[in-house]
Homo-oligomer: A and B are copies of this chain.
Amino acid sequence: MSTTSALIVAAGRGTRMGPGVDKLFLEVAGAPVIAHAWRRMETCAAIDELVLVVRPGWESSFQRIAVEQGFRKPFRLTVGGAERQDSVANGLRALSPDCEWVAIHDGARPCTAASAIERCLEAARRVGAAVAAQRATDTIKESDGQKQIARHLDRTRLWSVQTPQCFRVEVIRRALEAVVKAGRQVTDDTAACELIGQAVELVECPEPNPKVTTPADLPWVELLLTRLP
């Protein structure tokens, strides 16, 4: 049987929280944000192992979390690169040799439902690439780059995509290589698929799946975490 891995990106600096604050280590519902994100993958039956991409020098903090939280699934730590895509590429290199499927997840998303992870993986097994998504509920406008509306978008076609983003490992490796060859930068992994003509399925996941980006997000995250199974 092939291996399915979670690749947690936990190497960002999260500058929106202010200097010196690492949002991943903020305490919420009794544990750091990253510990909750890790637990989502730890308790999801579809995940066999984890790779965490971390900032250089922070390895011991992650080892400590694993001990404190009593995590039992095999995990490996690897260090991140300059950009998110470099961090993901490093993480892909650290997967088990027999890993065929990967769920790439933001370390700052602590509330993701197990069903979202499972359903994204199922879609990736069918299509090659899939992403947890929600229909846009707010109206979205494109600005002129300043503070003026330049274009009104058709909401019925807009989706907010989150993580996990799930792939056949061979697909995301090839896609990220194409990004490097093209000298491009992508801020999410599905965008890399465009360069190799790989279809990406939007998997509608209605459960709230917020990303911690500012301190204002914490009360809502706390509320969600206390309600999770």
Chain A contacts to B: CB under 8 angstroms: 131, 133-134, 136-145, 147-150, 152-155, 157-162, 187-188, 190-191, 194, 199-204, 206-208, 211, 213-214, 216, 219-220, 223, 227
Given contacts A141-B133, A223-B220, contact A202 B157 (CB under 8 A): no
A–B complex contacts, Cβ < 8 Å, 17 sampled? A138-B161, A138-B162, A139-B188, A140-B140, A140-B161, A141-B158, A141-B161, A141-B190, A142-B157, A142-B158, A143-B157, A147-B201, A147-B202, A148-B199, A148-B202, A149-B161, A149-B190
**Residues of B with C-beta under 8 A to A139:** 160-162, 187-188
Q: Please state if A160 and B138 are interface contacts (CB–CB under 8 Å).
A: yes
Q: Please state if B211 and A152 are interface contacts (CB–CB under 8 Å).
A: no
Q: Please state if B191 and A137 are interface contacts (CB–CB under 8 Å).
A: no
Q: Please state if B147 and A160 are interface contacts (CB–CB under 8 Å).
A: no
Cα-based distance from A142 to B187 in the complex (angstroms)? 16
- A92 to chain B minimum Cβ distance, whole angstroms, is 20
- A125 to chain B minimum Cβ distance, whole angstroms, is 15
Cα-based distance from A227 to B223 in the complex (angstroms)? 14
Q: Please state if B216 and A206 are interface contacts (CB–CB under 8 Å).
A: yes
Given contacts A152-B190, A155-B187, A187-B155, contact A143 B202 (CB under 8 A): yes
Cα-based distance from A138 to B161 in the complex (angstroms)? 6
- A187 to chain B minimum Cβ distance, whole angstroms, is 7
**Residues of B with C-beta under 8 A to A220:** 208, 220, 223
Tell me the nearest residue of chain B to A150, going by C-beta.
Answer: B157
Given contacts A147-B202, A208-B216, contact A159 B140 (CB under 8 A): yes
- A153 to chain B minimum Cβ distance, whole angstroms, is 7
**Residues of B with C-beta under 8 A to A158:** 140-143
- A179 to chain B minimum Cβ distance, whole angstroms, is 12
- A224 to chain B minimum Cβ distance, whole angstroms, is 8
Given contacts A140-B160, A143-B159, A159-B143, contact A148 B206 (CB under 8 A): no
